[in-house]
Every structure is written in structure tokens, then in C-alpha cells.
Chains A and B, each alone.
Chain A
């Protein structure tokens, strides 16, 4: 099963990947590919766009139309691609720094437009590629190479951010919940509009080591033990939710999609003729 997926959807001559042993990014990449496979999309119609970071290296391994852009700019490039050719199924792969720091402005505006792009953030709470500096999602008090005394910044809840900005599908899963990522990405791809899936990843090399989170296995166990599905959470007493974070589908609404709205303007002139 796994090998068929690799054969059909990966550029196997580009593997093995560059990620560290125990990195969560590979699991998330595989889950996305699984979603595309299950949706039965023609590979020629899929376009994966990324920024810069460890996470943003993923498209290079994926056998679609792939675009590795500049740090923070994936969504701006993807907006151009989608607008120019709305038939393409556009997925953005980005990191927490890529999408919420340098690319934060593009994130909120892509969400606001409700353009039909599915964004998957590989959130490892750190800048992996540059060696462990704190990011906009590093929890307050945690350490990074540029927060040697503990991070005093308040961290973003990316899902709340995306929802507030206008995303019409918002969900979260973790690298531990690989099947769930597949399910959420599928739902996101099927949503006609801007979909935002936060995939909580692990970076044992920097985040783990800096913050004494143990090895990759321990970090994955943390993801399992500390996450609660939003649906289940409703039935749980408050004390059971302490120190936990939510996963699952948070938000789903129907709203006019951007490229369709623009097409209506184009069509109005075609009718005039």
C-alpha cells in the first residue's frame, strides 16, 4: 500500500528527504499525498506551492506541479497561480514562521478573499531550517536560540487567526494523527474556498532539544496525550482539559469563492457581445 503511494505520487528518485530522523514533517507530507490520492485527482491538475523552511522542502518530493518560492510568499504565488488557472487544485505547504511571521500578511488576505487554496501549516513551534530560533507559535516561556531566557512573546493560535481572517474551513491535527490529517486535508480540498489545516509537527533537533522535550518518540507521545478532539471536549469537565490543545474541525461555512466571483465579471462581458 505504502509503496504504491510512493510510486504514484512521489518523485522517488529525489528520496530520501533532507529531514532529520524523527522530524514530523515527512508524516504530514505523506498524509497530504494520501488525501490527494483518495480524492482521485489527476496529478497534472495538482499544484503544490511552498515558501522557505524545512517544511517548504516537501513539494520537491511530490510528483505534481510544484513551486518552491521565497520565505513567506507561498500564498501570494499560489494566489497568482489559482487566479490565472482556476482549474488547478492548489495546495500551499508552509511552516509556522513562513506563514505566520514573514508571510502573515499574505495569510490573512488569502483567507479574507476566500480563494480556493488549501493551506497546510507544518507547525513545529520553531524555525527549523535556520537552527532553532523562536517563531510566532513558540509558546510563551519556551526557549529558542534567540530566546535563551525564555520567549516573552505571546504565541498565535493559527486556527483562530485563520478563522478570524475569513477562512471558510479551519481544522487541526498532529503528526501523531496522520490519518486525521488526511481526512482534514481532503475536507479542505473539497471546500470551495480558503481552507486552513494546521498540522502540528515535531522538531526534535531544535525545539525538542532546546526545551528538553525528549526524543522524537516522547514528542509524538506528547502530541497524542495532550490533544483532545473538539467534539469530545464538549463532554469533558474543565479540569480534564487543562494543558490540552484541541484538534479536529473547528470551522466550516459556505461563502462565495474568489475566482468564481471574478469569473462572473468576465462572463458579464462575454454576454454583452
Chain B
């Protein structure tokens, strides 16, 4: 038998493990339930690999320090939950426009406000997309298991580095605190992506210049000899501010195209028993676990039901969800909020299928029975 690396692990622990595997060498944050273990474990692990951990004075400082550290070349992450995620929003916009790679983990809990600190929720789906002001590119991933938390944390770092932008990992209290046995993949099974750096010895480095046909500028680090300027103001390819409407338009256009032109690379999802399905459940995160059970229960009763599980929440999987809607008569979106992702599903799927929702935002998980009941109702 092969020597497999099997570990019993909590979701939050798997997040740190994945981050370290991806190359995280900096973490700054502020404690908040149910994300705190990510900070605690980072504080324990990082110095052992020569990395740095900082407990800052609030969540704003946590992400600000994370962005600052990334500019020196370290792969950097911060983690939080509801109230802290709200505080980080302005800085998420900064990392977007200044194109600084970083990972923001949000272990979702019940809201609004202090809400239900120890209960799971999926209420920050729209905030992840629209929380910071202005149009900006967004990548948000949502895992449904401990192992997937490990995998998607690595993916989050990879996308952040590849596309030079903040990437969000949206887990929830259940996924964060759940313990599962996971097999840690070996190094050759894991793809790690690092930011592309400018060739050395350049006379002149324009930090936001891209070659013809490319969308992501090469990123130097502070202290390497390129004395470049970074700002949250609209800037041209030299990095300095500009009020020119063409410059502004082109910058925003390029930022959005980083996602739009690479949508396939960023689209992660799972299809489960959907081939002949008349009713397809769409669910993500911990809710997808209940949905999967509900599908099996329905199948046992002879009902043709399947599951489509987006792991990429943003960008929205327009193409896949359209296909799902074309295939099914009925779509049920199950999520732990009062209806957020479902609005997007309706936007693309309304023409093709009857769309309904199975929603709950009282701090309880949506059970397989509840989803099964909904399946029978539609």
C-alpha cells in the first residue's frame, strides 16, 4: 500500500494548511468567530517556515497590512467573518484597482450586524460581489468539505497571483468547524502559481504596462530596485494618477477583462446525477452537502433529481447555469440566506426552467428533508 498522508482536520485548519502549501508567508488579521482558528493556526505555523503573522488592531488594518506585505513579494492572506468582512470592503477595492494579489477568507456567520456569531450562514454572497464601491473584478470560491477547503485555498492563491487581484474564499461556520479525514495530496499533485515578475535589468519598469494581447501586468516587489508608485486613484500604465477619461475607461476595461477573458480557467463546479434530471438543485458550500443527500433520497424514490454545485461563486457561471436550466424543467436554489444567488440563477435561467428557492437564514442548516420536500412540491 502507498504511504498516504491522511489527517483528521478542521475546515479552518485545512485552510491554513492549503495556504501554506500555496506559499503563504504572511497573515494579518483580527480575531472573530467562526474564523479565529485560521489566525491562531497561522500564528503557530508561520514563524516555523520563516513567515510572518500579525494580529492587527482591527480588520481594516488586517487587510491593509496584508496588501502592504504582498507588495514586498510575500503571498499574503487575511481571514474574518461577517462584521470583519464589512470592515474590509474599502481595502478590497484598493487591492482590485492597485492589482495586489491577496486572499481574503470569510467564514460566514449569521447577520446582519453581530447577528448569530456561532451559526452558519451564506448571507455574504452579494456583499462579496458588490461590497466595495465601484465596478471591479471579483473572484470568490466556496468549498463544501474540509478537503475542498484545502484545495480551494490553494486555488485562491493561484488566481490571486495569476490575475493580480484579491480573491475571496467564502466558507461558513459548518465548513470551518467541521472535522473530516482528508488525504493531503503530494507536491506533484498540486499546481502552485506565482506572480509573474518583470525581467531583471530593465531600465524602466512601468508597473501597469501590459504587452499586446496580455491583461496582467508583471509585478515587481518593493526593495528590488524598481522604485514604482502604487495608488488607489485611477492611474495610467506608469502607476501615476490620471483624470483622463480614456485612461480610466481603459483601466476598468482591462481589470474586468482579466476575469471575462479567462472565465473558463476560473469556472469550478461539480455536477452530480444531472444527466437525466428533471429537477436540478443548485447549492454551494455546506448547503450542497444537504442537497446531495436530498438528491440521493429522491433518486431512491425514483425521482429524477440532480445537483449542480458551483465552487466558483463569482464570476457567476453564466454558461453552466444556462445549460443546467436548459436541461431541467425545475431548478431549486438552496442557500442559507433569504435569496441571493437565486437572483443570478433567475437572470440566466428564467427563460428555460421554472426556478424556485429553498432558503433559510435563522442560523440552522437547511436539511436534506427540507430540500426533498421542496423537490416534491415543484
Interface residues of A (CB under 8 A from B): 11, 14, 43-45, 47, 49, 59-60, 63-70, 73, 76-81, 83-85, 87-88, 105-106, 109, 262, 265-266, 269-270
Contact A105 B68 (CB under 8 A): no
Within 8 A of A (CB), among B46-84: 47-48, 50, 52, 54, 56-58, 60-61, 64-74, 76
**How far, in whole Å, are A63 and B221 apart by their CA atoms in the complex?**
15
Tell me if B26 counts as interface (CB < 8 A to partner A): yes
Contacts of A106 in B (CB 8 A): 57, 61
Contact B52 A84 (CB under 8 A): yes
**How far, in whole Å, are A212 and B313 apart by their CA atoms in the complex?**
57
Q: How far is the CB of B62 from chain A (nearest CB, A)?
A: 8
Cβ 8 A contact of A63, one of B26, B28, B227: B227
Interface class of chain A by DSSP:
helix
Contact B68 A45 (CB under 8 A): no
Tell me if B230 counts as interface (CB < 8 A to partner A): yes
Contacts of B229 in A (CB 8 A): 11, 59-60, 66-68
Contacts of B115 in A (CB 8 A): none
Contact B69 A88 (CB under 8 A): no
**How far, in whole Å, are A66 and B220 apart by their CA atoms in the complex?**
13
Contacts of A105 in B (CB 8 A): 57-58, 61
Name which residue of chain B comes closest to A270, CB basis.
B50
Tell whether A83 pairs with B69 under 8 Å between CB atoms, given A63-B227, A70-B232, A105-B58: yes
Contact A67 B64 (CB under 8 A): no
Interface string of B17-36 (1 = CB under 8 A from A): 00000000110100000000
Contact A80 B50 (CB under 8 A): no
Interface string of B210-236 (1 = CB under 8 A from A): 000000000001111101111111000
Contact A76 B65 (CB under 8 A): yes
Q: How far is the CB of A16 from chain B (nearest CB, A)?
A: 14
Cβ 8 A contact of B47, one of A65, A85, A266: A266
Tell me if B240 counts as interface (CB < 8 A to partner A): yes
Contact B64 A88 (CB under 8 A): no
Contacts of B71 in A (CB 8 A): 67, 80-81
Contacts of B315 in A (CB 8 A): none
**How far, in whole Å, are A44 and B26 apart by their CA atoms in the complex?**
22
Contact A88 B67 (CB under 8 A): no
Contacts of A64 in B (CB 8 A): 227
Contacts of B227 in A (CB 8 A): 43-44, 63-66
Interface class of chain B by DSSP:
mixed
Tell whether A70 pairs with B90 under 8 Å between CB atoms, given A76-B61, A83-B69: yes
Name which residue of chain A comes closest to B64, CB basis.
A76
Interface residues of B (CB under 8 A from A): 25-26, 28, 47-48, 50, 52, 54, 56-58, 60-61, 64-74, 76, 90-91, 94, 221-225, 227-233, 240-241
Contacts of A59 in B (CB 8 A): 229
**How far, in whole Å, are A67 and B224 apart by their CA atoms in the complex?**
15
Contacts of B69 in A (CB 8 A): 80-81, 83-84
Cβ 8 A contact of B223, one of A47, A73, A76, A269: A47
Name which of B58, B66, B72, B232 has the most chain A CB atoms within 10 A of its CB.
B72
Q: How far is the CB of B28 from chain A (nearest CB, A)?
A: 6
Among all A-B residue pairs, the 3 with the closest Cβ atoms: A80-B68, A80-B65, A76-B64
Contacts of B26 in A (CB 8 A): 80, 83-84
Name which residue of chain B comes closest to A63, CB basis.
B227
Q: How far is the CB of B78 from chain A (nearest CB, A)?
A: 10
Cβ 8 A contact of B65, one of A44, A77, A88, A262: A77
Contact A76 B68 (CB under 8 A): yes
Contacts of B222 in A (CB 8 A): 47, 65, 67, 81, 85, 88
Tell whether A60 pairs with B68 under 8 Å between CB atoms, given A44-B227, A88-B222, A269-B48: no
Contacts of A83 in B (CB 8 A): 26, 28, 52, 54, 65, 69
Contact A68 B231 (CB under 8 A): yes
Contact B72 A85 (CB under 8 A): yes
Name which of B58, B229, B233 has the most chain A CB atoms within 10 A of its CB.
B229
Name which residue of chain A comes closest to B94, CB basis.
A70
8 intermolecular pairs with C-beta atoms under 8 Å apart = A43-B227, A67-B230, A77-B65, A78-B68, A80-B66, A84-B70, A88-B72, A269-B48
**How far, in whole Å, are A63 and B225 apart by their CA atoms in the complex?**
11
Contacts of B50 in A (CB 8 A): 266, 270
Q: How far is the CB of A32 from chain B (nearest CB, A)?
A: 16
Name which residue of chain B comes closest to A66, CB basis.
B229
Q: How far is the CB of A83 from chain B (nearest CB, A)?
A: 5
Contacts of A45 in B (CB 8 A): 223
Cβ 8 A contact of B61, one of A14, A109, A265, A270: A109
Name which residue of chain B comes closest to A268, CB basis.
B47
Cβ 8 A contact of A73, one of B70, B76, B91: B91
Contacts of A73 in B (CB 8 A): 60-61, 64, 91
Contacts of B54 in A (CB 8 A): 79-80, 83
Q: How far is the CB of A113 from chain B (nearest CB, A)?
A: 9
Q: How far is the CB of A176 from chain B (nearest CB, A)?
A: 30
Tell whether A60 pairs with B230 under 8 Å between CB atoms, given A80-B66, A80-B68: no
**How far, in whole Å, are A268 and B226 apart by their CA atoms in the complex?**
33
**How far, in whole Å, are A83 and B85 apart by their CA atoms in the complex?**
23
Name which residue of chain B comes closest to A273, CB basis.
B48
Name which residue of chain B comes closest to A64, CB basis.
B227
Contact B57 A68 (CB under 8 A): no
Cβ 8 A contact of A66, one of B64, B90, B230, B232: B230
20 additional A-B residue pairs with CB within 8 Å, beyond A70-B232, A76-B56, A109-B61:
A44-B224, A44-B225, A47-B222, A59-B229, A60-B240, A67-B68, A67-B222, A68-B231, A73-B61, A73-B64, A76-B57, A79-B61, A80-B66, A81-B69, A83-B28, A83-B65, A84-B69, A105-B57, A262-B47, A269-B48
